[in-house]
Amino acid sequence: MDQVTNPTDSLHGYYFEDLEVGMTDVFAKTITEADIVIFAGISGDTNPVHLNEEFAAGTMFKGTIAHGMLTSAFISTVIGTKLPGPGCIYVSQNLKFKAPVKAGETVKAKCTITELIPEKKFIKLQTQCIVGDKVVVDGEATIMVPSRAA
């Protein structure tokens, strides 16, 4: 389905009225060691399981892993830039971290509309991060979407 935009604002994403249950979009990125180090610096999460190979080798992961919140941030990329896109506002997000992600792996964030809530102009999305064919993060988001009527 083509994205419907406001002709006076080319940056705007979907309006609530353009959305349907089942619409899906994705974003994929290969995680690098630099991404992990930069995220640690920005977030302040310097847990050695993310940054120290010697320490992490002694953990159940047998090596360093990406921050779960770095991986799940790609869900925000889909929501804020693709579906529903610019102009929407996050209301809530729940996440279940199911498997680690390592540098060099490609994470695909996938968001699918599961419910429309017309009275509030909210949508619910199934949110997942997938590496290969394995779901590494699973969750649900609620998003406020602008209306043409507003």
On the question of a cis peptide bond just before residue 48, with omega within 30 degrees of 0, the verdict is no
Q: What distance in Å separates the CA atoms of residue 76 and residue 80, rounded to the nearest whole number?
A: 6
Give the CA distances from residue 65 to residues 1, 95, 135, in Å, rounded to whole numbers and listed in that order: 36, 17, 16
Q: Which residues of the chain have pLDDT under 70?
A: 1-10, 150
CB distance 96 to 141 below 8 Å: no
Residue with the two structure tokens 């935009």:
5
Domains of the chain: 16-144 (3.10.129.10)
Tell me what pLDDT residue 11 has.
77
pLDDT at res. 149: 79
Looking at the DSSP bridge assignments, the partners of residue 137 are 97, 129
What pLDDT was estimated at residue 10?
Answer: 65
DSSP string, 45-114: ---HHHH-HHHHHTSTTSS----HHHHHHHHHHHHHHTSS-TT-EEEEEEEEE-S---TTPEEEEEEEEE
Distances (CA, A) of 120 to 3, 14, 91, 128: 22, 16, 11, 24
pLDDT of 51 reads 98
Contact between 102 and 63 (Cβ < 8 Å)? yes
pLDDT at res. 70: 98
Residue 14 and residue 42: Cα distance in Å, rounded?
A: 30
pLDDT at 12: 85
